[in-house]
Amino acid sequence: MRGEDCFGADDRRLLHDEALDLLARLPLPAAGQETIKLSEGRGRILAAPVIAPRNVPQHDTSAVDGYAFRHQDFDPCGGFFRLETRVPAGHPAGQALTPWAAARIFTGGVMPEGTDTVAMQEDCRLEISGSQSVVVIPAGLAKGANRRLAGEDLAAGTQILAPGHKLRAQDLAAIASTGTAAVPVFTRIRTGVISTGDELVRPGTALGAGGLYDANHFLLASLLESCPADVTDLGICPDRRDALQLALSEASGRCDVILTSGGASHGEEDHLLAVLERIGEAQVFDLAIKPGRRLITGRAGDCLIIGLPGNPVAAMVSFLLYARPLLLRRAGMPPAPAQGFQVQAAFDLPRRKTGRREFSRGRLVTLADGTVQAELYPRSGSGLISSLREADGLIEIHEETTAIHRGDTVRFLPFSGFWA
């Protein structure tokens, strides 16, 4: 299929929101499904609802170490209760207590039948009356104090989590508390990463004149860990059309998604678009953004191919903003906007050319009065990996913004929001 320019005949570049809308409507194959052990679930994406099969807790239990009793027997001014039984956690409560009796109970112990209130042990006093042990419970204790009701955390039949949810540690704890040992998830996406360029070599290899070490592979492979994806290193492809065509044709049969970096622009040594047109189909996104500008998506069979810029900063920004949403949708997650928040600018941009969305590297600083501001990284080159390392995230500047003054409100996209 002939490559399709997504910016129109008047050469108007796609605005950021327009590109996101187009990418959100790009058809993708459905993700596969499998059932895995709960211990393997962190970071995986649910393929079906998780329903609580039972109450959590299963019975009324004590929230503290103390003494359980029937509140109807309790004198508001305080009173004495016979100690009739002992209820450790993990053991049945036994028979119901007789009137004006209490049970020594421990945290998590099942409340004896009829009891509804627990007095904390540190608030009580033990005495001996004849041969009978009694506990003195102080005045003022409300009915139901220090008791956890059956189903208080989760009621049987409750939907705990919905399909498309990415499992976190606390989600796994909630599922485990119901006794569920396995969960249905979408299969991990098989992702290949290929770098292009005659100048590139891998770290550990001698660097020739004009050479560069391939930083993008390690950047993208690491970013993919949050998707979730199994990453295959497809190596470095030289700037030859036949070599790139062979590499993509072979890898597309065993990958769900292939990420390329470099070779996506208009130069004589940029072959990605021509190769995709030959082996499948392609779309060109010429974007009104900085850093970046051009993104290519294509397909070879069922394999999605995403062409990112070669400069590391542009590659990372394009991955976070455009490739990552595609990857997460391919992996079974619903589309979601990038997480950001408003913060004061700690910089001035007195004059700015409008018409493009900028994503500048920045870091958060806290002033003496507790105000949080976003500080602009002083250099903006697309090849400056140091700017990514020093930054906490991206300062988003809208297309129509003509100037920013210190103290103005700007939107900040923390890198941590992309790792969730």
Q: Which CATH number fits domain 34-56+152-186: 1.10.8.60, 1.10.260.40, 3.90.105.10, 3.40.50.300?
A: 3.90.105.10
pLDDT at 266: 65
| pLDDT tens column, 264-300 | 776 666 789 999 999 999 999 999 999 988 999 999 9
pLDDT at 384 over 70: yes
What's the CA dihedral at 6, 8, 10, 15 to 10 degrees?
Answer: -50
- From the list 110, 182, 189, 186, the residue with the least C-alpha distance to 150 is 110
Would you identify the CATH topology of the domain 61-148? Answer: Molybdopterin biosynthesis moeA protein; domain 3 (2.170.190)
Rounded distance between C-alpha atoms, residue 90 and residue 415, angstroms: 44
Q: What 3-state DSSP class applies to 331?
A: coil
CATH number of 4-32+187-330: 3.40.980.10
pLDDT at 127 over 70: yes
- C-alpha distances in Å from residue 14, one per residue of 21, 221, 260: 11, 28, 21
Rounded distance between C-alpha atoms, residue 166 and residue 223, angstroms: 16
Find the mean pLDDT for residues 366-394: 90
pLDDT at 268: 60
pLDDT at 374: 97
Which pLDDT band holds residue 5 (cuts at 50, 70, 90)? very low
Asked whether the CA dihedral 108, 109, 111, 117 is positive or negative, the reply is negative
| pLDDT tens column, 214-262 | 999 999 999 998 888 999 999 999 999 999 999 999 999 999 999 999 8
Q: Give the type of residue at 196.
A: T
Asked if residue 70 lies in contact with residue 112, where contact means CB atoms within 8 angstroms, the answer is: no
Q: Which residues lie below 8 Å from residue 37, measured CB to CB, with a gap of 6+?
A: 181, 182
pLDDT at 83: 94
Q: Which two tokens stand for residue 210?
A: 């004009």
pLDDT at 147: 97
- According to DSSP, residue 420 is labeled -
pLDDT at 11: 63
| pLDDT tens column, 96-120 | 999 999 999 999 999 999 999 999 9
Specify the domain boundaries for CATH 3.90.105.10 within the chain. Answer: 34-56+152-186
- According to DSSP, residue 374 is labeled E
pLDDT at 106: 97
CATH architecture of 341-419: Beta Barrel (2.40)
